[in-house]
Amino acid sequence: MPPQTQWEAYFDPPAILAALGCAPGGEVIDFGCGYGTFTIAAARRVKETVYASDIDPSMVQATSARARDAKLENIVVEAQDFVESGCARPDGSAGFVMLFNILHIESPVALLQEAHRVLRAGGLAGVIHWKYDAGTPRGPPLEIRPTLEQCRRWGEEAGLHWLASPELPGTPWHWGMMLQRP
């Protein structure tokens, strides 16, 4: 991860969450919360609990500190390898899940299946990733960076339905996608 100020300069979290349909109606799960950039914005947007997890203890600590500093009591931050063992949330409990800049992992379909499992019927998965373009200021190497079309196929393989690929305000380097659990 780059320094927090550099990372956050790439995004307009409230506008991106609005574009991807994050709204009240069930808990929110942030897979790979990093600095809590989107966790904090989601917790301000919904009344339900936002579950944020990351495998990196320093990211868990950063997100926990930000939640405390912001006095947001609807955030639970957990150190977790959700790729290996799931996110420990009940089936059908989430209204919205965030899969932001993470689907370049080795098992993207398994993570999308976990998102499907925890989403309630009609719940949304918001996906964003770096555009497949060597000119982006950050992002994983192109050889592992997924395209929007590839992520759509993976989502459909995991049982999710593609809804839309809205423009993401405030970030020229990312694409976005909305998937829904039927």
CATH number at residue 168: 3.40.50.150
Average pLDDT over residues 95-113: 96
Determine the 3-state secondary structure of 97 from DSSP.
strand
pLDDT digits (tens, 9 = 90+) for 59-99: 999 999 999 999 999 999 999 999 888 899 999 999 999 99
pLDDT digits (tens, 9 = 90+) for 30-54: 999 999 999 999 999 999 999 999 9
Both tokens of 90, joined, read: 């009940």
Number of domains making up the chain = 1
Both tokens of 98, joined, read: 């965030």
Round to whole Å and give the CA distance between 44 and 100. Answer: 18
pTM: 0.95
Residue 142: give the domain boundaries.
4-180
DSSP output for 23-43: -SSSEEEEES-TTSHHHHHHH
